[in-house]
Chains A and B, each alone.
Chain A
């Protein structure tokens, strides 16, 4: 009766799980607009975004020509972020903003406007500061790293269990799911640090981030990871596999949305991640406890991952030229190339002759390495803004 209750409980948790509309917040316009010249200091700064935003920390800071912070506490109304200003100086003002999109991706930016004649401003450097996508380089690297660790955790925690269900229980694989849970847990603080690195390291921002959908999803992912740990105490694999499905859906909820089809993006992404977990986790399981029965499932998992990946790529690319015109496209291209090479090496018996390994162990190790590289590229992709 425990198991039946468990399934009901999970279904309930899933039904209660919050759904968010997803995209990156882009600054559509502002009042005063960037680089505009005014005759008198404005009473407020208003920013209009492409979607609903949450101010991260203060949200808007404005520096007067003398370097004084002149913006009051900001207010948010849907897409619009406003902060009052009390200033009298003439010269160049610098506006720095930071916000979180509904899909928890951070954005920040800076621009200037001039009252009267342009002047110096100690914060002018922020306006020309380089950014990758909407994150800082450090934040971007950490975010990709956190995602990568999360993906490996998924593969070990759920894929290894699935492998044993599909083949047979292997005592040698006992500890791997626990290691997977540890990685799933370790990825979360790293994701938080990455988010702060993309915004700013201060208490206000940390609270805003934790109070945002990002923080809630972080809590949910940690919760699922801990529940997996709890249920690993059981002999039955099914509750853990069900949680794997929940985790894939949470991943879907924090991935890039497909414009116009939010549900499709979530479920495609969940499918993509779940297939990845079965394929990569299975490869790892095969390495430690080889079992030929896994072969059809490996092919199946790989095929589903490729299929869903192609659909996601189609959805996120506006035109073929996007493939070579931005970082997202380039990364996608490299990932596709590696997947194609992997596919060829797995399927061509000719090539296989050059890597003789009767036990399959060495071969498995190589494939696992390739899978690890593909996961790195996936982690980078998910941290970059898609063209569409």
Chain B
């Protein structure tokens, strides 16, 4: 079927049919692997402030609010960087942007070791590391998967998304151990050095697009002819936003992704441990519950990627949000029934923690076209982070005012059911296409 699997196709004048050519791995897999490493690292760097909170309090006497504010800046910038990172990648290429981001993260992390005042923390952990990690995030995964893969695109997207969870699972205990036993500076230095170690790997092996090597994307029948975009990347990022906001489907996707962020990172990520402790569970047990969610998250995201290659993304998202909503509605019952119910919750919930990413990226690509969608997806991802930040605050307030999380869990469950309804309404009605909005690649087949 014209699949490009042989390096021999690089030289079309040489006959490759006479001898069975040595099967080589398609370069797309190497790009995916390098991206996986970079994404895993970035997730680890992002997790670091959580480890640093207590040691920084001890050394500088800063209160929790100061450190939380730096984390807050970090989160906001991490979310908002997405569309601009996508525009930069379109303009200057994936490799340049990723190398730049890694160097930024490394300098931010290393400079914290000599800081003396809170504003330096805001600047370094908040601004510098936030911007740097924001460039090595979901948007990078979406860009690499869509440029390098036609077949197995969903699988690659799932794996790259799972890299984030894997990174946190690996880095967090390790950095925690370092911070506890060798001082927080050793943790920061480790992060800086790790980022610098990845730099040459990325510079050597990451390539912007298959055409740079005279290849086609994995499983592609035609060569990808997209050149680098021109113009000011920042203006391009806002142009992407303009493209999005005129589309009803953008709001449906962004709205459901807002709820996704709210019901994962925002609610469970922040509040499951305290809520479990409210119900008389030891902190270690509660924390291991969260880790267990992480494990199921990796499994669920990989499976979701495979499913995205096969099934209608809207149906997948409907099921993810629907099941997540139901498991949140049942969570109050789960707290009542010893461990069995809670385990059941963790399995269901963990499986679709970020399983929503591959179908959402896929839908964005179909709706907004291969050339532009990464920027639009960047904005959709920003909505995700906004949801996470706002519900984390809201759930905390509910806890403070009412003394119980049940209300927060149940309303998040209901929000997820709304998201399930939003995604089913994507590309249902005929509408006039906005300028520059290509027609959906696949006509909706609804019965």
The chain A residues found within 8 Å of chain B, CB to CB, are 1-2, 5, 9, 13, 16, 18, 203, 206-207, 210-211, 215-216, 219-220, 222-223, 226-227, 229-231, 233-236
* Least CB separation from A18: chain B residue: B333
Q: Which of A18, A210, A222, A226: most chain B CB closer than 10 A?
A: A226
User: Residue-by-residue, is B397-435 near A (CB-CB < 8 Å gives 1, otherwise 0)?
Assistant: 000011110110010011001101100110010000000
Partner of A223, one of B332, B417, B425: B417
A59 smallest CB distance to B (angstroms): 15
Q: Do the beta carbons of B404 and A211 come within 8 Å of each other?
A: yes
* Least CB separation from A181: chain B residue: B421
Q: Do the beta carbons of A230 and B333 come within 8 Å of each other?
A: no
Q: Do the beta carbons of A210 and B407 come within 8 Å of each other?
A: yes
Of B174-182, B233-241, B322-330, B357-365, the segment with at least 4 beta carbons within 8 Å of chain A is: B322-330
B159 smallest CB distance to A (angstroms): 24
Q: Do the beta carbons of B401 and A219 come within 8 Å of each other?
A: no
Q: Do the beta carbons of A227 and B322 come within 8 Å of each other?
A: yes
| B319 adjacent to chain A (CB < 8 Å) | yes
Partner of B413, one of A206, A223, A231: A223
Q: If the complex has contacts A13-B326, A229-B421, are A207 and B414 also in contact, measured as CB distance less than 8 A?
A: no
* B312 CB contacts on chain A under 8 angstroms: 2
* Least CB separation from B423: chain A residue: A230
| B315 adjacent to chain A (CB < 8 Å) | yes
Q: Do the beta carbons of B404 and A227 come within 8 Å of each other?
A: no
Partner of A203, one of B325, B402, B424: B402
Interface majority SS (helix, strand, loop, mixed), chain B: helix
Q: Do the beta carbons of A230 and B318 come within 8 Å of each other?
A: yes
A96 smallest CB distance to B (angstroms): 22
Q: If the complex has contacts A2-B315, A211-B406, A233-B421, are A222 and B414 also in contact, measured as CB distance less than 8 A?
A: yes
The chain B residues found within 8 Å of chain A, CB to CB, are 311-312, 315, 318-319, 322-323, 325-326, 329-330, 332-333, 401-404, 406-407, 410, 413-414, 417-418, 420-421, 424-425, 428, 446-447
- A169 to B447 Cα, complex, angstroms: 14
* A227 CB contacts on chain B under 8 angstroms: 322, 417, 420-421
Q: Do the beta carbons of B421 and A236 come within 8 Å of each other?
A: no
Partner of B447, one of A13, A223, A230, A235: A235
Q: Do the beta carbons of B410 and A219 come within 8 Å of each other?
A: yes
Partner of A234, one of B401, B413, B446: B446
* Least CB separation from A203: chain B residue: B402
- A2 to B420 Cα, complex, angstroms: 14
* A236 CB contacts on chain B under 8 angstroms: 447
* B318 CB contacts on chain A under 8 angstroms: 230
* A18 CB contacts on chain B under 8 angstroms: 333
- A215 to B410 Cα, complex, angstroms: 9
- A206 to B413 Cα, complex, angstroms: 19
25 contacts between A and B (CB under 8 A): A1-B311, A2-B315, A16-B330, A206-B402, A207-B403, A210-B407, A215-B410, A216-B332, A216-B410, A219-B410, A219-B413, A219-B414, A223-B329, A226-B418, A227-B322, A227-B417, A230-B417, A230-B418, A230-B420, A230-B421, A231-B421, A233-B421, A234-B424, A234-B446, A235-B447
Q: If the complex has contacts A9-B323, A223-B326, A235-B447, are A230 and B424 also in contact, measured as CB distance less than 8 A?
A: yes
- A233 to B429 Cα, complex, angstroms: 10
Partner of B424, one of A9, A216, A223, A233: A233
* Least CB separation from B446: chain A residue: A235
* Least CB separation from A17: chain B residue: B330
- A215 to B404 Cα, complex, angstroms: 13
Q: A207-B403, A230-B318 are in contact. List 12 more A-B contacts (CB 8 A).
A: A2-B312, A5-B319, A9-B319, A13-B326, A207-B407, A210-B407, A215-B406, A223-B417, A227-B417, A230-B322, A233-B424, A234-B424
